[in-house]
Structure 1
Amino acid sequence: MSAQTANGKEVQFYSRDDVAKHNKQGDVWIVIDATIYNVSKFAELHPGGESVFYDEEVAGQECTETFFGLHRHEVLLKPAYQRLIVGKIKGEESVIKVPEPGAASKVPYAEPMWLTPNYHSPYYTDSHRRLQKAMRAFVDDRIHEVAQRCEDNGKRPDVDLVQEMGANGLNAMRMGPGKHLQGRKLFADVKAEEFNYFHELVITQELVRMGARGFGDALQGGMVIGLPPIMNFGSDDLKKEIVEPVLAGNKFICLAISEAFAGSDVMGIRTTATLTEDGEHYIVNGTKKWITNGVFADYFTTAVKTDMGFAVICVPRSCGGVETKQIKTSYSTTAGTAYVTYDNVKVPKRYLVGEDGLGIQIILSNFNHERWVMCCSTIRAARAMCEQDMLWANQRKAFGKPLNGQAAVRQKLAQCISLAEAAQNWLESVTYQMCNMSYKQQSLFLAGQVALLKSWSTRVSHEVADASVQLFGGRGLTKSGMGRFAEEFHRTYKFDAVLGGSEEILADLGIRQALRFMPQDQKL
């Protein structure tokens, strides 16, 4: 036995023969990745039972393979398990490394091709790469813990985190390119004049890697879809009141379109807004359902029916008569999904967004960007799940060999990875078109492309989710442990297949858009 000082702490070194002597009840050591753990007292508390530690292949023995067949590496990093460390194996080094914050994954196909060594892309510049690295480090250091905590307790995101994102420019950057970025200090020193949709794609895709679908929506999902109508069509007075406080994280906004009788059928909304006799206020009555962030929103960008047809009114909660109730969905309550009731809400006319009668146009103008953002998320989430599958198949043994030694398993991995790669490439192609088209051109030429991409990308998620649960088995249906990412992904991927227009509606939209351009002079 010898000792050495490292990082101010004395580390004891032992031989494997020394460890082997601690092999009986009340005195059990084990070795995991060249680190020695004293599990004598912990054995009594072990969730899997005490007896597993007294097996002759465990007590006093090398247990790295056994451990990683049952547990995630993060378990060893918890303080309770760090306290079990008694030393290291003399002359040996730990092999398993914890990725540094901001580091790219080394697992094949875990990263999009543009982030993979030895590959190239025509789309991404040094600015995008700098943003990606900084964003990943920020998510790992600042957001990940909050996300997991909120997913567990169902509470809204910490307001100070949202405000921090506002202060460093991230909230504004999530709104996409535009005048709102001018003169603003942006995250990772990105310049406003160089910011494009690929920067926004990077931010969105880095956020979804944390495996917390509900929290992803909670973290200003309502802002991403509820604020654009104000920014693009609101009066200067309305913008002054709402835009900066929301981007700063001091106020929260949501988009209120869907109703119990109107989901993808926007024209079916029944919420009404009637002008008062003096023409100074609208009286809003009706309900909205499945409204993301509605539980904690200060403003509701609301689609209504008026005497002029349809309109959009930004209803402040402070007007009174606005009530929100939590809707418990299968992902989590942290997103603040709400049932919203408007009961004779008296809203000053200045909260009208754009013109009365042009509500449908305003609503539709927002859909392309909303659906594209959802494509960014669901496609990257599917790839993150592929990484989990690759790791699991490499370290889990069955029938005497790793899972990836089975041809059937390799076939499932091939299918999932192929779908993720194809989806990312289609997404980047569409994003490039967005960067080179005006907003009007995007509406004209990309509505069908984006609709088909969103419809197909959630089919990709479906296939990946199904295959992942099969690979993880019972663990893929368990909210903790090795398969928790598979369980979360399988439980939540379907949201994107419904929100922002269902798969079926968008597939139909994509073809209808194509039929508009069918040449009449072409025949078989």
Structure 2
Amino acid sequence: MSKTFSKSDVASHNKGDSLWIVVDDDVYDLTKFQDEHPGGKKILTRVAGKDASKQFWKYHNEGILKKYKPSLQIGSLDTKPKSEPKPEPTPEPSRTYAAPQPTKETKQAVVPPTAQEEAEALEPFGDLIPFGDPSWYQGFHSPYFNESHAALRAEVRQWVESEIEPNVTEWDEKKEVPGEIFLEMGRRGYLAGLLGVHYPKEYTKNSVKSVSPEQWDLFHEMIITDELSRVGSGGFVWSMIGGFGIGGPPLIKFGKKALKDRIMPGILTGEKRICLAITEPDAGSDVANLTCEAKLSEDGKHYIVNGEKKWITNGIWCDYFTTAVRTGGEGMNGISLLLIEREAGGVSTRRMDCQGVWSSGTTYITFEDVKVPVENLLGKENQGFKVIMTNFNHERMGIIIQCLRFSRVCYEESVKYANKRRTFSKKLIEHPVIRMKLAHMARQIEASYSWLENLIYQCQKMGETEAMLRLGGPIAGLKAQSTLTFEFCAREASQIFGGLSYSRGGQGAKVERLYRDVRAYAIPGGSEEIMLDLSMRQSLRVAKMTGMKL
């Protein structure tokens, strides 16, 4: 049970050899922390033995408190109101959607919701800042989400707020997230839920605490990505799901059973890592012109791979590389997809320093006479382009989810800051020009998110071939829309924060970091220009096939 202190108890600890302060009715012992304090000892001495809440919140954000609270808090004031713990939401099996591709065993177990249940609003959740979270978090009605989604949301947010967010800045500066965090993703069952397919319980004993495998759908997958993105670090999110989320799907969808049986268990627990290796120094969005070569050995048992890959997310840590290679002639009809294993030898990786996403492990890879068993072919020889195109929808949806949450982070941080920062005798929020900036951020976020929800629903209802054909255009369009929204929100948030968004760390840390990450979303997965052109070309082509009348 937490200790309680009176104000006079705290006041007696007002010297350098015993220095306590109060922040929001909680008592902190900063005696040993003085030398570590970035502002120096004098600032702490001025508030020793006093309530320093006003001074603390003037210079710090919530993340700093979360980071140091576990080690520095020693109790609370005896005047602090007691708060009752809220019960965790529990999933209700009777109000769930079927998984996208239910197995024979699960078809009977999943009960679809009635129209009335679909329309029932869920309990409000989070800080309830207007537009700071999606509307279904704030008591609005939605046809897409039920109690199982709310339970997962609460589970992921609790973990992220307590274990992840306080450390993200430190990890970003070190350019690496501890391996234990990725292993925890596996233990929690989150990795298995991020492959764009039914929950692959046949390959893992781990499962998500709040959602059964039979209940799993694409909106659950979205929630994991969305909640991870609340930390405001593209580097962290890519470190967790960047390589895995795009390197894993081709394996589970197109790999031979023996290969999946051997590889999948290890990557779902997080003990092994996988990434996607498509881009080359001279072939980015123009995938059909890649040159990394794979030739059959004389005995026909192996492909011998030679070539280079560039800007490969997570590559420096990976054991497996889902790799696009040229096995045939020029163009798209000569491309195959191979699962290359690092332990085969001939694979060298080196870290690339980039503008943003520092902790994502961006990598330059060289393959030199790498022997790859023919059993590691994903799909059919010379038909890998189709596999790659199928994978793009899943990759782009992940980018969209992250961009829109990052946009909300920029907006939410701006609202919080604007309600405490004063200029010209007013809070920032009281200036019409600031409210106008926030309004423009909110309108773009909400419009884009509504499109996202609809497309996820379409992905869930359509078969893979139909989705690849009909949704490629809209998803490409939304990918461009979401990255443009992210860039706009990052800029406007930076203007609201002023100089605080230009220096690393402190109150503007998330905004500064996200501003650096913008280009990592506007270019990979298809640049904005290519996406917008593709959205029209693909949509018009499909429309002609399905009876468009002009």
Instruction: Name the residue aligned to 1:163.
Output: 183
User: Residue 217 of structure 2 aligns to which amino acid in structure 1?
Assistant: N
Aligned match of 1:232: 253
Q: Which residue in the other structure is 1:290 paired with?
A: 311
Shift of residue 177, structure 1, vs aligned partner: 2.9
**Distance of 2:199 and 2:18 partners within structure 1:** 67
Q: Which has the larger radius of gyration?
A: 1
Higher mean C-alpha deviation, range 286-295 or range 270-279: 270-279
Letter in 2 for 1:503: E
* Match of residue 371, structure 1, among 387, 396, 418: 396
Residue 113 of structure 2: aligned partner: none
Inter-CA distance 12–467: structure 2 relative to 1 (3 Å threshold): same
The CA distance in 2 between the partners of 1:140 and 1:42, in whole Å, is 23
User: SS where residue 7 of structure 2 aligns?
Assistant: strand
Question: What letter corresponds to residue 255 of structure 1 in structure 2?
Answer: L
Q: More deviation in 438-447 or 326-335?
A: 326-335
Aligned equivalents of 1:331, 1:513: Cα separation in 2: 31
Q: Is 1:310 matched up with 2:335?
A: yes
Q: Does residue 11 of structure 1 match 2:5?
A: yes
- How far off is 1:384 after superposition? 1.9
Q: Does 1:175 align with 2:181?
A: no
Question: What's the counterpart of residue 130 of structure 2?
Answer: 108
Map of 1:421 onto structure 2: 446
Encode CA deviations 1:244-290: one digit per residue, 9 max, x unaligned.
Answer: 21112221111100001001110121111111222121111110000
Q: Residues of 2 paired with 1:368 and 1:224: CA distance? A: 12
Tell whether the 8 Å contact from 1:252 to 1:298 is kept in structure 2 after alignment: yes
Query: What CA distance in whole angstroms lies between the structure 2 residues aligned with 1:181 and 1:330?
Result: 38
Measure, in 2, the Cα distance between the counterparts of 1:480 and 1:263.
33
Other-structure match for 2:463: 438
Question: Equivalent residue for 1:3?
Answer: none
Q: Deviation at 1:83?
A: 5.8
Distance 1:173 1:72 in 2: 32
Report SS of the residue matched to 1:279: coil
The code of the aligned residue for 1:163 comes to: L
TM superposition shift of 1:156: 4.3
Using the alignment, how far apart are the partners of 1:264 and 1:272 within structure 2?
Answer: 18
How far apart are residue 28 of structure 1 and its match? 9.9
Q: Deviations over 1:455-485 (max 9, x none)?
A: 1100000100000110111111121111001
Query: Bigger shift: 285-294 or 135-144?
Result: 135-144
Query: Is 1:270 matched up with 2:291?
Result: yes
2:495 to 455, 466, 470: 470
Point out the more displaced range, 392-401 or 211-220.
Answer: 211-220
Structure 1 distance, partners of 2:138, 2:59, is 29
2:505 to 480, 492, 495: 480
CA distance in 1, matches of 2:275, 2:345: 17
Q: Which residue of 1 aligns with 2:360?
A: 335
**2:320 alignment partner in structure 1:** 299
Structure 2 residue 184 is the aligned partner of structure 1 residue 195: no
Assess if the C-alpha contact under 8 Å between 2:501 and 2:509 holds in 1: yes
Cα separation, partners in 2 of 1:348 and 1:408, compared to 1, 3 Å? same
Question: SS of the counterpart of 1:219?
Answer: helix
Classify 1:40/1:443 alpha carbon distance in 2 versus 1 (closer, same or farther; 3 Å).
closer
* Closer/same/farther in 2, CA of residues 448 and 73 from structure 1, 3 Å limit: closer
Name the residue aligned to 1:4. none
Cα deviation code 1:478-514 (max 9, x no counterpart)? 2111100110111112211111111111111100012
Whether the aligned pair in 2 keeps the contact of 1:322 and 1:342 (CA below 8 Å) is yes
Alpha-carbon distance between aligned partners in 1 of 2:160 and 2:461, rounded to the nearest angstrom: 29
The whole-number CA distance in structure 2 between the counterparts of 1:101 and 1:253 is: 34
Q: State the one-letter code of the partner of 1:194.
A: Q
1:140 match: 161
Q: CA deviation at 1:150?
A: 2.4
Distance 1:87 1:191 in 2: 39
Aligned length: 508
- Inter-partner Cα distance in structure 2 for 1:244 and 1:29: 50
**CA separation in 2, counterparts of 1:111 and 1:278?**
58
- Pick closer, same or farther for the CA change 1:436–1:79 going to 2, 3 Å: closer
Shift of 1:51: 6.9
Match of 1:395 in 2: 420
Q: What letter corresponds to residue 537 of structure 2 in structure 1?
A: R
Shift in Å, 1:124: 0.4
Question: Cα deviation per residue 1:381-427 (whole Å; 9 max; x = unaligned)?
Answer: 21122111110000111111211011111111111111111111110
How far off its partner does 1:75 sit?
4.0
Partners of 1:286 and 1:295 in 2: how far apart?
Answer: 17
Which runs of 5 or more residues in structure 2 are unaligned? 90-124
Distance 1:111 1:67, change over 3 A: same
Alignment-derived partner of residue 68 in structure 1: 57
* Contact 2:22–2:52 under 8 Å retained in 1: yes
Structure 2 letter corresponding to 1:175:
L
Cα deviation for residue 314 of structure 1 reads 1.1
Q: Which letter does structure 2 place at the counterpart of 1:323?
A: S
Alpha-carbon separation, structure 1, partners of 2:412 and 2:482: 17
Distance across 2 between alignment mates of 1:286 and 1:498: 23
Matched, 1:380 2:405: yes
Q: Conserved in 1, the CA contact under 8 Å of 2:306 and 2:367?
A: yes
Structure 1 residues 513 and 53, CA gap change in structure 2 (3 angstroms): same
Alpha carbon RMSD of aligned pairs, Å?
A: 3.5
Contact 1:35–1:94, Cα closer than 8 Å, also in 2: no
- CA spacing shift, 1:426–1:248, aligned 2, 3 Å: same
**Residues 427 and 62 of structure 1: is their aligned pair in 2 closer, same or farther, counting only changes over 3 Å?**
same
Check 1:408–1:173 CA distance in 2 against 1; reply closer, same or farther (3 A cut): same
| 1:499 counterpart = 2:524 | yes
**Contact residue 177 and residue 195 of structure 1 kept, 8 A:** no
Change (3 A) 1:62 1:213: same
**Per-residue deviation at 1:334?**
2.6
Q: Deviations over 1:98-123 (max 9, x none)?
A: 99999622323221100113x11111
Residues 173, 358 of structure 2: 8 Å contact kept: no
Q: Is the 8 A contact 1:322 1:345 kept in 2?
A: yes
2:145 is aligned to: 124
Distance 2:208 2:235 in 1: 24
Counterpart amino acid of residue 59 in structure 2: L
* Residue 427 of structure 2 is aligned to residue 409 of structure 1: no
SS class of match (1:69): helix
Report the CA distance between 1:72 and its aligned residue: 2.1
Instruction: Give, in whole Å, the separation in 2 of the partners of 1:171 and 1:205.
Output: 14
Q: CA deviation at 1:318?
A: 1.3
Which of 384, 407, 410 is the matching residue for 1:359?
A: 384
The percent of aligned pairs where both chains have the same amino acid is 36
- TM-score, L = length of structure 2: 0.83
2:102 aligned residue: none
